[in-house]
Structure 1
Amino acid sequence: MPSLVKYRSALIDSDRWSEFPFRQGDIVISTRSKSGTTWMQMICALLIFQTPDLPEPLPAMSPWLEQVLIPKDEVYARLAAQRHRRFIKTHTPLDGVPMDPRATYIVVARHPLDMAVSLYHMHDNLDSSRLRALTHQPEPSRPSEPRPPLRDWLLQWIDGDVTPATDLSSLPGVMWHLSDAWERHLHRPNVLMVHYDDLLGDLAGEMRRISEALDIKVPEEVWPTLVDAATFKSMKSRADRLVPTTGGLLKDITMFFRRGESGSGSALLTEEEFARYDRRTRELAPADLLRWLHR
């Protein structure tokens, strides 16, 4: 087995995956932040339990394995105690996660410009002082510079030239995560690619496709209830049970579900600026992935 790439920051350590004891039927949900992670966790929960009345809050059932705020042994023990089919969250690209033949890997992709806009707004909802305290980082000696307005920030994000490992939420980081997953899904039947816009456009159809990939049978009369529970409106109404709240990092959990739409990123750019984005992505990802991602 090839060695795993290690991704580390103040908040994550992907090496926590290296000794994880997989078991038959495990589901690994691998996404970039603000690309439909919680949505896919909810869909998996609904398919597994076949009821909107989940036995525990979603983050407790489906922990973010590489996040360091909870000790690794505690996360391992929580997952080992689960008797239902396990579904585990990760923001680590698949080259940093063991590829176990007993598991299914679901990678959710969102148009990178929409993801970036959502990421920008999420930053405003994070308690930075709380994050520094939990990750043992010192308070800055001077006030940080104010962030640029969204449109200016988005243009800087498009042009940012960093390595994926340095910043997985950068455009190079997003494209690496998706390119690696795309190549794997072409050759591995246990890697499933899901597009955020397909979930928006045909939630019922995509949930059926996911259930088939996971070999989960759902009685026909149960489907309407499950699909309704996975809608943006329904999930936002249950934010207290679905939003990841570890460490109290969010100022307002209801703002976690902000809009749940597509197109906001492209709408900010002129035709010339969008062409700049298009050229940049063609430098970073294969053409067949980009056709699927940008369709």
Structure 2
Amino acid sequence: MRYRSSDEDSARWDGFPFREGDIIISTRSKSGTTWMQMICALLVFRSPDLPASLSELSPWVDWLIVPRDEVLARLEAQPHRRFIKTHTPLDGIPLDPRATYVVVARHPLDMAVSLFHHVDNLNRERMAELLGGPAPAAPSAPPRSIHDSLVTWINREVAPAEAMDSLPGVMWHLTDAWQRRHEPNVVLIHYADLVDDLNGEMRSLAAKLGIDVPEEQWPLLVDAAGFAQMRARAAQLAPDPVGILKDRNAFFHRGGSGAGRELLTDEEFTQYEKRAAQLAPNDLLAWLHR
């Protein structure tokens, strides 16, 4: 399936030249993409001292703002094991046996709250300039509160491919990955597990990727992957190679879990659960909402 938005096109994966050992990080927006990129960087280089910015080391193939030829040339020049970002579900990119596909799932309500803050931090004028389009018109109405935006997000009826960061889009992405979770080169990771046991999750991922890390290196790597350390290094780690963020430090907004539930009344949360049950299988929801 082809997925397109104003700044993404999954067709840029067509003919992608895979290498043995490639790591493809497939997530929805604000679901732990940058965190997983950092974890993979730490495992690949076995050091918190990265040789370049995270966006340069782990480019986003689908993103229309950076020319595809430039992205592929950068990846071709990398001598190390490659770890590559995409927001496309696995059914929209080539599934190559030489690659491992890492999908990170986050509670959809937390993802939606984080996305609200992220969108507010985007420089829309700069994005329009890079995409060659007109500057966005000034809003005709005052912005909705984060609570009202979240309720609207829960109830929005839209085709998944038309709005991948909608609730239907999130559940489509995760359901596809859930159905592939027993395949040998697909790894499904829960954001909450990274929060609760970062050391254990990093060790588990290293084993699945066949990466051997000396025992004495683990405390340093786990510390470097922590939220506080990543926020302190926002200038190097925030995904902003062409200056579309108003504030790179604001990209790392909170990092925990539970923010979405805190905003909703019991009735609104029940409505979310009903919508989720219409969009995803029960076993996935039990794992996702635990």
Shift of 1:54: 0.5
Residue 120 of structure 1 aligns to a residue in which SS? helix
Residue among 185, 189, 193 paired with 1:190: 185
Matched, 1:288 2:283: yes
Structure 1: distance between partners of 2:148 and 2:197 = 33
Percent identity over paired residues: 61
Matched, 1:252 2:247: yes
Looking at structure 2, the residues matched to 92 and 207 of structure 1 have their Cα atoms a distance apart, in angstroms, of 23
> 8 Å contact 1:147–1:153 — kept in the other structure?
no
What SS does the aligned partner of 2:242 have? helix
The SS at the match of 1:261 is: coil
- Identify which of 109, 114, 123 aligns with 2:110: 114
Please state whether the residue corresponding to 1:246 is helix, strand or coil.
Answer: coil
* 1:64 alignment partner in structure 2: 60
Give the 3 Å change call, closer, same or farther, for CA 116–141 of structure 1 in structure 2. Answer: closer
Q: Distance in 1 between matches of 2:127 and 2:66?
A: 13
> In structure 2, what residue type is equivalent to 1:230?
A
- What is the CA distance between 1:18 and its match in structure 2? 1.1
- Superimposed CA distance per residue, residues 189-243 of structure 1 (whole angstroms, 9 cap, x where no aligned partner): 1100010100000000000010011010111111000000000000111111111
Residue 33 of structure 1 is aligned with which of 17, 24, 29?
A: 29
1:80-104 Cα shifts (integer Å, max 9, x gaps)? 1111000000000111110000100
Letter in 2 for 1:198: D
Q: How far does residue 129 in structure 1 lie from its aligned partner after superposition?
A: 1.4
| Aligned positions, number | 290
Quote how far apart the aligned CAs of 1:140 are: 4.6
Match of 2:11 among 7, 15, 24: 15
Please list every run of 5 or more consecutive structure 2 residues that lacks an aligned counterpart in the other structure: none
Letter in 2 for 1:190: N
Asked if 1 retains the 8 angstrom alpha-carbon contact of 2:124 and 2:136, the reply is: no
- Following the alignment from structure 2 to structure 1, what is the Cα–Cα distance between the partners of residues 191 and 152? 24
- State yes or no: 1:160 paired with 2:147: no
Q: Which residue of structure 1 aligns with residue 221 of structure 2?
A: 226
In the alignment, the residues of structure 1 paired with residue 26 and residue 63 of structure 2 have an alpha-carbon distance, to the nearest angstrom, of 13
Q: Which deviates more, 127-136 or 194-203?
A: 127-136
Q: Which residue of 2 aligns with 1:89?
A: 85
How far has the Cα of 1:142 moved from its partner? 5.5
Determine the C-alpha separation between the residues in 2 that align with 1:31 and 1:144.
32
* Aligned CA distance change for structure 1 residues 263 and 143 (closer, same or farther; 3 Å): closer
| TM-score with structure 1 setting the length | 0.96
Alpha-carbon spacing, 1:155–1:185, altered in 2? closer, same or farther (3 Å): same
- Cα distance, 1:274 vs structure 2: 0.7
Q: Any stretches of 5+ residues in structure 1 without a counterpart?
A: none
Task: Say whether the 8 Å CA contact 2:124–2:135 is kept in structure 1.
Answer: no
User: The residue matched to 1:218 in structure 2 has which SS?
Assistant: coil
Q: For the residues of structure 2 that align with 1:115 and 1:254, how far apart are their CA atoms? A: 18
CA change 1:141–1:292 in 2 (3 A) is closer
Write the letter of the residue equivalent to 1:183: Q
Deviations 1:228-270 (A, max 9, x none): 0000000111111111113211000000001111101001111
2:146 to 129, 150, 160: 150
- RMSD, aligned α-carbons: 1.0
How far, CA to CA, are the matches of 1:160 and 1:55 in structure 2?
A: 43
Q: 1:98 aligns with which of 94, 97, 119?
A: 94
Letter paired with 1:36: G
Aligned mates of 2:38, 2:88 — CA distance in 1? 19
Quick one: which amino acid aligns to residue 240 of structure 2? T
TM-superposed CA distance for 1:143, in Å, is 3.5
TM-score (norm 2): 0.98
Distance 2:50 2:135 in 1: 39
CA distance in 2 between counterparts of 1:88 and 1:161 reads: 31
Structure 2: distance between partners of 1:71 and 1:236: 28
The 2-side partners of 1:189 and 1:288 are apart by 20
The corresponding residue for 2:195 is 200
Q: Post-superposition shift, 1:145?
A: 2.7
